[in-house]
Structure 1
């Protein structure tokens, strides 16, 4: 088999190992344990002895996020049937919905919320509020949960909340600022779900799509304490000079909260959090560890480039080429794997189709040509959810012959990059990475395999 073909096969195999490590079904199965009478929950996925057991009389099942269906299916298979309080609920994006016996499955929109998601949020609130002391609310959280279960505060419509969020996103507000506002316009986010479940016990199994696994940022933290305030939320708008553009209902709600007429989001010292706990069952860091192990098992020399990769996709690609060039200059005598995980960004200048992973793959191929990268190589950048931007591709997988394929097709790939049209450039060179929806989401993985020329 030609070297490039083998490198491509290895890159895809390594990528799939990262996805498997974040398999939400297996992650939940590893975490929950039961005998005929009770449920035990692992508190630490790296420790088999640290478990939570409340001898709960009833267990209420709630799941939301892109992996909701697979997570709730796994949980239902482990929990003794007589302990289940009634039908559970799973609110999932439309692409990942699956019918499950005794689970109310609701498909909802992501990334923009819709009425179906609002209906799902109402049902989640109802289930949580029905739980009593001595019972457990088991919450299964995965990426996308924030958009999938919108439940605006009283007096604010779903449309007004969406408009407010869009205003912030267009202003370049940080994700922390956006989450601060979301938590103060929602009944579920920022610890709201934990508050509804009290005095019952609550345990969250969390599949993280956030770098660094900041719990209050994952799905906007519905089961954990919130350190931000109404004043902080108002300051986000005033700092961005957006306050006068915010819907009046949102202004009124935030001002009433600042003045103490509306309760703050629950803080870390709240009594209710004595009854809550969580387990991180999957994350980008766990998947990065898995691709390192997979590459090593294929006899590649390992180089971890970054386990929290951020920045503009095109610039990150150029920096990665320079890093690889420096390695080659030092002299390598065996195949090596340069690995990363994280989530880059793209600033839109054109009108093309693509996503951050496709853009990075396209930019990498161009930078490797420009810097005269002398080796056989393959570079893969892919989203673990199988969806990169508004496309059917998970990302891109380019190699040292990609430029030749573009030349043979008589296209100028630089023009495609300038137009943010990575999808069509990679489609022409047959370098799209297609996996289909994976049912999980732990950000992105990057794999650069290099075979030095003899």
Structure 2
């Protein structure tokens, strides 16, 4: 899975970190989770605990988007076969399918091909009737990949707004509150377009807490956020001058009641749509922990909900390692500590890097400064960390010779350059899934 794996492994602790990461990523692959959650017996389609009578439908279609949406469509084809009558999904995973059209899109900034493919998704939804079962494949990355500018907004305006939000350090629910109110598909509008069809979303979550309204900006579920909430995000992060005037004007008009809100739970068509969670960050952390147990390590899941500034979360992991070495708390070495969640970066420099790289570099600087013997692997499970070709980094006490130099690199947001020079970057290419960050901290005896 990892490029140059043998060179990266080096020590038993480093090899264990890589093995745990690999297990976590593979556990969340669409093929695996669909095989466990979806089955067909006669005319009965089972999605987790729900049953759908396929004899009630003339057509079964698959539509949606996300970094793993192509793989999800392929896995559904393997299970349902020729019962699927077609579909369109927008993805980055390059999955090859027979019955569902997997359209290539761009992430994290939407592109013209995202817009064109999303138009086809909406057209498919609008063709549905009461005898259509629409299976919505929604995975992390759908917020960018499913791009349908609202009336009066251009793609260029959405791109500029997306870039400003991602650079601000705003959380994903804040970012998506703005996106939903600038879109014709997000915030329940896909389900509304498909009414009166039966809509069943199958989701792979990359969101802390697995809120259906935040995953992929909730295209099939009611939206609890408002235009006023979206405006508040711009104000909170001082983005008034960073987003195009038409975006700000649309949000202001919506807050004043001049534009209809996104569908709420009172919208019967949207409220009736079903939602099924197939995998999330805990899927990955549990699989990583199991590998560590099999290798004889004590284990601890620190949290699957870590968020905040990446470098500060890196320092927390270094502090956990230091405490475990000194006192045996919160776990006695040999041990593996796993964590998940979504860390962010407030961009202030002009370097290159990503949240997992900044987290790992901060931890490595702390290891060096404190003389802590530990290994930390931090990766985005989709294979892409920030605007780089790396998914994260693998560091230990020897990664950083000069902690001050590491902190200067972090101040410039240039973790990638520093870690590349140290041969510490992890590269996989797109993995085919997306359940957010996964970290493995290894403490040998």
Q: 2:47 aligns with which of 41, 47, 52?
A: 41
User: What does the per-residue CA deviation read over 1:371-412, in whole Å, with 9 as the maximum and x for residues that have no partner?
Assistant: 122x4x321111111111222222111123334xx58xxx95
Equivalent residue runs for 1:131-142 within 5 Å: 131-142=128-139
Partners of 2:165 and 2:416 lie apart in 1 by 28
The answer to which of 17-26 and 393-402 deviates more is 393-402
Residue 74 of structure 1 corresponds to which residue in structure 2? 75
Instruction: Please show how residues 212-223 of structure 1 align to structure 2 within 5 Å.
Output: 212-223=209-220
**1:55-204 matched pairs, under 5 angstroms:** 55-81=56-82, 83-85=83-85, 87-93=86-92, 96-169=93-166, 173-204=170-201
Of residues 211-220 and 428-437 in structure 1, the stretch that sits farther from structure 2 once superposed is: 428-437
Is the contact made by 2:315 and 2:362 (CA closer than 8 Å) also made in structure 1?
yes
Tell me whether 1:266 sits opposite 2:267 in the alignment.
no
Residue 280 of structure 2 aligns with which residue?
A: 283
Calculate the TM-score normalised by the size of structure 1.
Answer: 0.87
1:445 pairs with 2:442? no
**SS at the partner of 1:382?**
strand
How far did residue 220 of structure 1 move? 0.7
Out of 234-243 and 120-129, give the one that drifted further: 234-243
Q: Deviations over 1:197-218 (max 9, x none)?
A: 1111000000111111111111
Structure 1 pair 244–391 and aligned structure 2 pair: CA distance change class (3 A)? closer
> Aligned match of 2:415 in 404, 411, 422?
422
Question: Which of the numbers 27, 32, 36 marks the counterpart of 2:33?
Answer: 27
- Could you say which residue in structure 1 is the equivalent of 2:356? 357
Matches of 1:57 and 1:97 in 2, distance apart?
29
Q: 2:13 aligns with which of 3, 7, 12?
A: 7
Which deviates further from its counterpart, 59-68 or 198-207? Answer: 59-68
CA distance in 1, matches of 2:135, 2:290: 32
Give distance in 2, aligned partners of 1:225 and 1:277: 11
Paired with 1:240 and 1:366, the residues of 2 have a C-alpha distance of 29
Show the counterpart of 1:47: none
Deviation of the 1:334 alpha carbon: 4.7
Counterpart CA distance in 2 for 1:417 and 1:243 is: 27
Q: Distance in 2 between matches of 1:241 and 1:348?
A: 14
CA contact (8 A) 1:63 1:72 kept: no
CA contact (8 A) 1:4 1:399 kept: no
Contact kept? 1:22, 1:282, Cα under 8 Å = yes
**Is the 2:221–2:271 contact (alpha carbons within 8 Å) kept by the matching residues of 1?**
no
Q: Which moved more, 1:411-420 or 1:196-205?
A: 411-420
Structure 1 Cα separation of the partners of residues 30 and 243 of structure 2:
38
Q: Give the superposition deviation at 1:323.
A: 1.9
Compute the displacement of 1:327 (Å).
1.8
CA shift at 1:304, angstroms?
2.2
Decide which moves more: 257-266 or 332-341: 257-266
Choose from 313, 316, 324 the match for 2:313: 316
1:434 aligned onto 2:427: yes
Q: Which has the larger radius of gyration?
A: 1
Match of 1:228 among 217, 225, 230: 225
- CA–CA distance in structure 2, aligned partners of residues 247 and 349 of structure 1: 21
Q: How many residues align?
A: 435
Bigger drift between 163-172 and 414-423 goes to 163-172
- 1:67 CA drift (Å): 0.5
Contact 1:379/1:399 (8 A) holds in 2: yes
* Correspondence 1:229-244 to 2 at 5 A: 229-237=226-234
CA positional deviation for 1:257: 4.1
Task: Give the Å deviation of 1:298.
Answer: 1.2
> Which deviates the most, 325-334 or 232-241?
232-241
Structure 2 equivalent of residue 371 of structure 1: 370
Deviation at 1:142, TM superposition (A): 0.7
What's the CA shift for 1:223?
A: 0.4
Change (3 A) 1:211 1:241: closer
Distance 1:19 1:292 in 2: 12
Report deviation, 1:75.
0.7
Q: CA RMSD in A?
A: 2.8
Partner of 2:337: 338
Structure 1: runs of 5 or more not aligned:
44-49
Q: Contact 2:167–2:345 (CA<8 Å) still a contact in 1?
A: no
